[in-house]
């Protein structure tokens, strides 16, 4: 048995490949089944690079800090996250038909990595040469270019994953990559906290490393063994939108995922609680990055393996526990504990574990739900709608925060709880166990 096959079986929990080849429910052709061990490692390697780059780039923490350091106005800094999040989702409805017509979608994902690497390199140049309004405007343009590249990667990846990795091992791919990448981000956070080097230099170095990692992901993914299989190109924009009417389970999944966006939007408000209570240590960039990275490291692989058994269960549990983590943060603040070194960090850590559960569950569920010839369309429709929901959820959170961070956190907790309730009623799309009864339309 080759080293690649041993690694494949260890990471994925796969049984004998011959048995898999006879199992027509694995979602792969015979050719793809034979290539799966090598492709599995290719996926893990490339995703580890891109997820590490994402953590080093992080607009919510790293890039926002850099722009503040360069004197960019707060209005432009505040645009960075919405540009990145909405820009990565909204274009997908229009790019999906073209990508679906490609014989090998791996080139769309690989070139998208190259685009993100170019954007990261541009931000290093911005950090070295610009300041004030010029730096803020240039950063917004670079992040917009990165977001469009990311949208191409997102809309193409689920189709590639479905063509090259068996149904019961797709969560293990993303989970393993997330755990590997979190080690890189933990190391970066520890450097920010303890290494006696100027933080500005470390941040620029991290962005430069992110550019290199995206470039390496391009190289690795270009070696993926993907069968040439061009789509028919019939998925026009209006035809894709009809899926919302025709596919009730896709609608329900979008409802659940939209409500669970609260786990992604809530962290800044926890940090506000700590800052208002005088928790200066936790407010530091390194501590924030460390909490997120540790949560990813400890939970992503477990969530991924569980998602291979029942991705709807992962979504439901993540929503429930995410709501509890937010309520815990508010409760600890009311008890006067927010200024301690453990209270708010604990809430953020627990919330980020749930956030990574939502990411694993939603990715695996959508790939397993969609028919093989409609994965690109399903992904484009879901992500476009979620892009709109993210903007709306951000507005809701901002309105609630006018009352205070407690109101914003409790609002997001309510959304997460409602998302869990919807996830309970999703149809089971894997063959494994589920803790909740199947709900069919």
Mean pLDDT of residues grouped by 10 in the chain (441 residues)? 73 55 58 86 94 88 84 76 82 81 89 97 96 93 94 88 85 85 89 83 94 97 87 63 90 95 81 67 64 84 90 96 96 88 85 92 91 83 86 70 81 95 93 49 41
State which H helix or E strand residue 427 sits in.
none
Residue 336's CB is within 10 A of a number of other CB atoms, namely: 10
Distance from C-alpha of 67 to C-alpha of 142, rounded to nearest angstrom: 13
Domains and CATH numbers, the chain: 1-234 (1.20.1250.20), 235-441 (1.20.1250.20)
Distance from C-alpha of 94 to C-alpha of 254, rounded to nearest angstrom: 18
Distance from C-alpha of 309 to C-alpha of 304, rounded to nearest angstrom: 9
Hey, what are 281's tokens? 């240590």
Q: List C-alpha distances in Å: 50 to 109, 217, 219.
A: 11, 6, 12
Q: How many residues does the chain have?
A: 441
Distance from C-alpha of 23 to C-alpha of 3, rounded to nearest angstrom: 24
What pLDDT shows up at residue 235? 55
- 267 Cβ partners below 8 Å, 6+ apart? 60, 292, 348, 351, 352, 355
What pLDDT shows up at residue 322? 96
331: left (phi over 0), alpha (psi -120 to 50) or beta: alpha
Distance from C-alpha of 441 to C-alpha of 431, rounded to nearest angstrom: 18
Distance from C-alpha of 120 to C-alpha of 135, rounded to nearest angstrom: 14
Q: Are 116 and 179 in contact (CB under 8 A)?
A: no
Hey, what are 9's tokens? 């079986």
Distance from C-alpha of 120 to C-alpha of 123, rounded to nearest angstrom: 5
CA 92 to chain CA centroid, nearest Å? 16
In the block, which residue shows the tokens 């993303």? 174
What pLDDT shows up at residue 13? 66
What pLDDT shows up at residue 113? 96
Residue 176 sits at the vertex; the CA angle it makes with 170 and 182, to the nearest 5 degrees, is 140
What pLDDT shows up at residue 130? 94
What pLDDT shows up at residue 293? 82
Distance from C-alpha of 353 to C-alpha of 291, rounded to nearest angstrom: 10
Hey, what are 390's tokens? 């993210």
- 316 Cβ partners below 8 Å, 6+ apart? 420, 423, 424, 435, 436
Give alpha helix (H) positions in 224-279.
237-241, 243-246, 248-259, 262-265, 267-276
What pLDDT shows up at residue 32? 80
């Amino acid at each position: 048995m080759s080293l690649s096959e041993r690694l494949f079986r260890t990471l994925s929990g796969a049984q004998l490949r011959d048995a898999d080849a006879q199992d027509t429910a694995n979602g792969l052709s015979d050719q793809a089944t034979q290539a799966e061990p090598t492709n599995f490692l290719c996926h893990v390697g490339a995703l580890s690079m891109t997820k590490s780059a994402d953590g080093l780039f992080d607009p919510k923490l790293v890039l926002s800090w850099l722009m503040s350091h360069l004197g960019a106005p707060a209005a432009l800094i505040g645009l960075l996250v919405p540009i990145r999040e909405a820009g990565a989702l909204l274009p997908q409805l229009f790019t999906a038909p073209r990508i679906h017509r490609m014989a090998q979608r791996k080139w769309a994902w690989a070139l998208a990595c190259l685009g993100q690497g170019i954007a990261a390199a541009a931000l290093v140049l911005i950090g070295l040469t610009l300041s004030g309004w010029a730096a803020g405007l240039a950063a917004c343009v670079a992040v917009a270019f990165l977001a469009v590249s990311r949208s191409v990667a997102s809309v193409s990846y689920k189709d590639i994953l479905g063509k090259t990795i068996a149904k019961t091992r797709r969560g293990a791919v993303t989970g393993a990559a997330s755990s590997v990448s979190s080690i890189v981000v933990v190391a970066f956070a520890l450097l920010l906290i303890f290494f006696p080097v100027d933080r500005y230099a470390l941040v620029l170095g991290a962005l430069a490393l992110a550019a290199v990692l995206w470039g390496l992901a391009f190289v690795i993914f270009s070696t993926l063994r993907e069968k040439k299989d061009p789509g028919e190109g019939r998925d026009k924009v209006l035809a894709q939108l009809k899926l919302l009417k025709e596919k009730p389970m896709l609608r329900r999944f979008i409802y659940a995922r939209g409500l669970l966006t609260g786990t992604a939007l809530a962290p800044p408000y926890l940090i506000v609680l700590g800052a208002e209570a005088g928790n200066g240590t936790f407010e530091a960039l390194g501590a924030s990055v460390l909490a997120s990275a540790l949560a990813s490291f400890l939970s992503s692989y477990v969530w991924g393996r569980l998602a291979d058994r029942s991705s709807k269960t992962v979504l439901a549990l993540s929503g429930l526990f995410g709501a509890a983590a937010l309520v815990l943060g508010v409760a600890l603040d009311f008890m006067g504990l927010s200024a301690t070194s453990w209270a708010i960090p604990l809430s953020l850590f627990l919330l980020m574990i749930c956030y990574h559960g939502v990411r694993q569950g939603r990715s695996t569920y959508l790939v397993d739900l969609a028919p093989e010839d409609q994965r690109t369309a399903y992904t484009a429709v879901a992500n476009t709608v979620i892009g709109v929901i993210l903007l709306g959820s951000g507005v809701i959170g901002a309105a609630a925060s006018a009352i205070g961070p407690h109101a914003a956190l409790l609002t997001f907790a309510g959304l997460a709880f409602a998302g869990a309730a919807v996830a309970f009623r999703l149809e089971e799309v894997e063959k494994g166990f589920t803790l909740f009864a199947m709900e069919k339309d």
